[in-house]
Structure formats: C-alpha cells, structure tokens
C-alpha cells in the first residue's frame, strides 16, 4: 500500500496494491501494521455501506463529541469524495481536499477525526463503503452546508440531490466545533 499525504494534515489517499489476472483481482484494503506505520493507529469499530444514485450529494457530516476517522472506498461506481478540516486551531481549518474514488481506480481516502465529510455521485449509481474509528452517535450528528462560499468546494456537479437535513446545514462560521477541538 502507498499512503499519499494530502494538503490536510492526517488525511491520506491510500493506493492499494491490486493483483489482477483473467479471473479478476485481489487487493488488501486494510492492514493494521501498514496503517500504524503511516501514523494511523486508531482502531476501526464500525463499517458502513451506502448505495446512492446519480447526482446525490451526501454531506458534509461530522460528529460533535464522538468524532470519527474514516477509511473510504467505492466498490462500484464513482464519487467525488471531500473532507473539510474543522479542527479548531488547525493550520488548514476551513480548507478542503477532494478525490475521485471509483470501483475502477480502487483508491481509498483516510480522513482523521475532526474532518467534515461528504461525497457526490458521478456515476449512474454507487456502492460506497467506509470504516469508522468511533460508533455513530445520533445525538452528536452535525452538518456543514455543502456549498459554503467561504470554503468553495468544486463538487463537479450542478443541482445535486440533497436530503432535507443537508439543505439546512449551517455555514462554517456557524457550526458547532467538536468539543475535543476547542481550546
């Protein structure tokens, strides 16, 4: 596996080694030792699978008191996956990084705790998988508006399909920052 640093501290593009032949392929998607050697030594405690259709945008989501690191990959289809740094005091606070993840390119993205996460579907449909370092806590579920002009994410789609909740998320200047981040 190759771990490529992004412009956000602690966020990596993970490039697995893929072994392909006429039968198909094999790849290792997680190895505790390889992740720890790259500074990612949190345990994953929950796996999630999301299925969405073309034009859906989910996010930007985070948890207030139970922040989750996430290891993200796509089994089928293609997304533009985005992380926004909301760690108070971080030199990249309010900055974003995005990657195209697909079943074809097999890239993965690791987002450390304190990063708001979202993705938009670029293919007809997508099967999206992610591992989390903390359990989902409904009372801590928070969001950041997807189109905040102060962040300026280029989502690569127009007129996304959003949930009612995601349409009403506050901007960066109004969100509650995770309590463990405040000084």
In 64-155, beta strands by DSSP E: 70-76, 78-85, 96-102, 108-111, 115-121, 125-132, 141-143
Cα–Cα dist 72/50, whole Å: 11
Q: Given 110, 130, 136, 180, which residue is catalytic? A: 130
Helices (H) and strands (E) in the chain, counts: 2, 13
Q: What is the DSSP letter of 55?
A: T
- Active site (annotated) includes residue 62: no
| Burial degree of 96 (CB within 10 A; 0-12, 13-18, 19+) | buried
Task: Take residue 165 and report the two structure tokens written for it.
Answer: 């909740």
- Active site (annotated) includes residue 117: no
Q: Given 49, 61, 65, 110, which residue is catalytic? A: 61
What's the Rg (C-alpha) of the chain? 16
Cα–Cα dist 119/127, whole Å: 12
Catalytic residues: 61, 130
């Amino acid at each position: 596996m190759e771990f490529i640093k992004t412009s956000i501290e602690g966020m990596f593009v993970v490039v697995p080694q893929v072994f392909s032949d006429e039968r198909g392929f094999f790849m290792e998607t997680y190895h505790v030792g390889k992740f720890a050697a790259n500074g990612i030594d949190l345990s994953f405690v929950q796996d999630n699978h999301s299925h969405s259709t073309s034009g859906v945008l989910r996010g930007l989501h985070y948890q207030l008191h139970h922040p989750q690191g996430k290891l993200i990959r796509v089994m089928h289809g293609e997304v533009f996956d985005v992380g926004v740094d909301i760690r108070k005091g971080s030199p990249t606070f309010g900055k974003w990084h995005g990657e195209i993840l697909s079943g074809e390119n097999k890239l993965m993205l690791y987002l450390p705790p304190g990063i708001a996460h979202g993705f938009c579907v670029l293919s007809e449909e997508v099967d999206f998988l992610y591992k989390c370092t903390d359990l989902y806590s409904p009372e801590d579920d928070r969001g950041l508006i997807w189109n905040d002009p102060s962040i300026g994410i280029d989502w690569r789609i127009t007129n996304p399909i959003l949930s009612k909740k995601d349409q009403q998320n506050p901007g960066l200047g109004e969100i509650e920052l995770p309590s463990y981040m405040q000084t």
